[in-house]
Amino acid sequence: MGLLIRNGDVVTAGRRFTGDVYVEDETIVAIGTGLAVPEGTEIVDATGKFVFPGFIDPHVHIHLPFMGTFAKDTYATASVAALIGGTTTLIEMCCPSRHDDPLDAYALWKSKAAGQSACDYTFHMAVTRFDEETPEQLRQIVADGTASFKIFLSYKNFFGVDDGEMYQTLKLANELGVIVTAHCENAELVSRLQQELIAEGKTGPEFHEPSRPETVEAEGTTRFATFLETTGATGYVVHLSCGPALAAALAAKERGVRLFVESVVPHFLLDKTYAERPGVEGMKFVMSPPLRDKRNQPLLWDALTAGAIDTVGTDHCPFDVEQKLLGKDAFTQIPNGIPCVEDRVNLMYTYGVSRGSLPIQRFVDALSTQPAKLFGLYPRKGEIAVGSDADLVVYDSAYRGVISAETHSVNNDYSGFEGVAIDGRPSLVTVRGVVQVRDGVFVGERTRGEFLRRATNPAYSQPAATDFSHDSTPELQPRS
């Protein structure tokens, strides 16, 4: 049976029009106005509502052994939460520790998702050490359809790679045509600052931000960009949080480094005062890079509007109150992460589009189309076009509600956005033509989700920069 979404305000990154979208089986087969459809077609009246392409979250953690514990979600919970919030594809970080075997880890991460996800999914493969076996292992993983890597410049001795390993990862990625995503903070500086603060008795969550100041993130971003420039690889900074790191990324982009930027929902809307709340209330807001001074938020919003920030993800990473309390005696032991996979679309719509100045097509671009394009899913995903997967979100901007852990579907006992108002929510969400959500309720197939195999991209295989004619070294002024 077909599905007709009739008379909606269809908004994609490139077009906006009032019309109909007709779906048969898994794909969009017709777009127009007043479409005639076969008898028996389910008809959804989208008059007065938006119709968006299914949203893609380019950065989530579901299975995550980290800081002595495990993130709380499973695919059964996270994929349903994602769908209720309008996200139809998840890109999960596959994150073995540096002591794990990458192929075993990759198989383990895939097994956690297979047959258990309600939405489609794929992975970024974290490279957490680089030895003589790594190239062949990564080739196998890329051949399996996981065509993006992740590196951490932070989390020394666990996920973190050193500069030599980063260099080798980028060289291989460039050879294979794979984009490399990176968590950019200077591991050594974080480690030193943490030790000093703890030695001074500064153990509470309010000292998490001072242990990873903006300069530390700017240094990581600059270094990553320099390594991209030198190797010719293409990179993507994850969860960029502050002005100095943004300036570093923009400077690199301007001089032609192939670098893309993601920021995540908590950094647009929460600030470091949340982590300064006493006790566990502050611990709930510990993530890395940390929540920053509020003055950074307008910079992030402006850069998002201008397209200097390419995508918006969540870095969804739920740890419950009991787990957060592992760090009650030292902020360095608080499991890092804030959950928000369910809330990304509603929050960015509310505070970007409805109450802010983010153009609605840029909103769709950053939350759906750009993740699809950068990570090899376009035009299957991230688009409303004939032949694209019928992942569709009918969005009711007349809905008014409040986010709460009491009502969310994420497997966590708190929400970082408790009590925050939203000006809209999906009224209908489809995954490849099947209605999965109606008006905030999951009504679909819990095992509908498929693993998305992605091809490598020749555009990510470029010569290294040997011509530094863009040299921007300032002229030195002779001393008088």
Q: Measured from the CB of residue 205, what is the shortest distance to ligand URP in angstroms?
A: 12
- Considering the complex, state which of residue 55 and residue 395 has its C-beta at the smaller distance from Zn ion: 55
On whether the CB atoms of residues 340 and 266 are closer than 8 A, the answer is yes
CA angle 456, 457, 459 (to 5 degrees): 155
- Considering the complex, state which of residue 183 and residue 208 has its C-beta at the smaller distance from Zn ion: 183
* Percentage helix, strand, coil for the chain under 3-state DSSP, each rounded to 5: 30, 20, 45
Quick one: what does residue 284 bind among ligand URP, Zn ion, none, with the CB cut-off 5 to 8 Å set by partner type?
A: none
Examine residue 359 and say whether the peptide bond preceding it is cis (omega within 30 degrees of 0): no
Under rule CB under 5 A, residue 315 binds Zn ion? yes
| Sites for ligand URP among residues 51-70 (CB under 6 A) | 61
Give the whole-angstrom CA distance, residue 264 versus residue 311.
Answer: 8
Q: Measured from the CB of residue 67, what is the shortest distance to Zn ion in angstroms?
A: 12
Q: Is residue 32 helix, strand or coil?
A: strand
Q: Measured from the CB of residue 316, what is the shortest distance to ligand URP in angstroms?
A: 9
Strand 311-313 with 259-264, pairing: parallel
Phi, psi of 224 (to 5 degrees): -60, -45
Under rule CB under 6 A, residue 317 binds ligand URP? yes
Give the whole-angstrom CA distance, residue 263 versus residue 237.
Answer: 8
Using the structure block, give the residue that is written with the tokens 């590196």. Answer: 151
CA angle 433, 379, 437 (to 5 degrees): 30
- Considering the complex, state which of residue 81 and residue 317 has its C-beta at the smaller distance from ligand URP: 317
Under rule CB under 6 A, residue 148 binds ligand URP? no
Give the whole-angstrom CA distance, residue 95 versus residue 159.
Answer: 7
Quick one: what does residue 287 bind among Zn ion, ligand URP, none, with the CB cut-off 5 to 8 Å set by partner type?
A: ligand URP
Give the whole-angstrom CA distance, residue 28 versus residue 385.
Answer: 7
Q: Measured from the CB of residue 315, what is the shortest distance to ligand URP in angstroms?
A: 5
Q: Measured from the CB of residue 366, what is the shortest distance to Zn ion in angstroms?
A: 17
- Considering the complex, state which of residue 252 and residue 287 has its C-beta at the smaller distance from ligand URP: 287
Under rule CB under 6 A, residue 337 binds ligand URP? yes
On whether the CB atoms of residues 368 and 53 are closer than 8 A, the answer is yes
The distance in angstroms from the start CA to the end CA of the chain is 83
Nearest to 319 by CA among 205, 153, 451: 205
On whether the CB atoms of residues 403 and 338 are closer than 8 A, the answer is no
- Considering the complex, state which of residue 24 and residue 276 has its C-beta at the smaller distance from ligand URP: 276
Under rule CB under 6 A, residue 315 binds ligand URP? yes
Binding footprint of ligand URP, residue count (CB under 6 A): 8
The helix or strand, by DSSP H or E, that contains position 84, with its residue range, turns out to be helix 75-84
Which of 117, 169, 323, 336 is the binder for ligand URP (CB under 6 A)?
Answer: 336
Comparing every residue's Cβ against ligand URP, the nearest one is 336
The count of other CB atoms within 10 Å of the CB of residue 392 is 31
Which of 129, 183, 267, 425 is the binder for Zn ion (CB under 5 A)?
Answer: 183
On whether the CB atoms of residues 109 and 122 are closer than 8 A, the answer is no
- Considering the complex, state which of residue 327 and residue 433 has its C-beta at the smaller distance from ligand URP: 327
- Considering the complex, state which of residue 273 and residue 305 has its C-beta at the smaller distance from ligand URP: 273
Q: Measured from the CB of residue 252, what is the shortest distance to ligand URP in angstroms?
A: 21
Give the whole-angstrom CA distance, residue 59 versus residue 115.
Answer: 21
Comparing every residue's Cβ against Zn ion, the nearest one is 183
Q: Build a one-symbol-per-residue string for 250-289: x at contacts with ligand URP by CB under 6 A, - elsewhere.
A: -------------------------------------xx-
- Considering the complex, state which of residue 72 and residue 183 has its C-beta at the smaller distance from ligand URP: 183
CA angle 355, 357, 359 (to 5 degrees): 115
Quick one: what does residue 283 bind among Zn ion, ligand URP, none, with the CB cut-off 5 to 8 Å set by partner type?
A: none
| Sites for Zn ion among residues 240-269 (CB under 5 A) | none
Q: Measured from the CB of residue 155, what is the shortest distance to Zn ion in angstroms?
A: 8
| Sites for ligand URP among residues 151-210 (CB under 6 A) | 183
On whether the CB atoms of residues 49 and 395 are closer than 8 A, the answer is yes
The count of other CB atoms within 10 Å of the CB of residue 273 is 14
Give the whole-angstrom CA distance, residue 182 versus residue 33.
Answer: 44
- Considering the complex, state which of residue 8 and residue 335 has its C-beta at the smaller distance from ligand URP: 335
Q: Measured from the CB of residue 317, what is the shortest distance to ligand URP in angstroms?
A: 4
Q: Measured from the CB of residue 323, what is the shortest distance to ligand URP in angstroms?
A: 12
- Considering the complex, state which of residue 160 and residue 205 has its C-beta at the smaller distance from Zn ion: 160
For residue 366, give the DSSP letter: I
Q: Measured from the CB of residue 313, what is the shortest distance to ligand URP in angstroms?
A: 10
- Considering the complex, state which of residue 324 and residue 380 has its C-beta at the smaller distance from ligand URP: 324
Distance of alpha carbon 442 from the chain centroid: 23
**Interacting residue ranges for Zn ion, rule: CB under 5 A:** 183, 315
**Interacting residue ranges for ligand URP, rule: CB under 6 A:** 61, 183, 287-288, 315, 317, 336-337
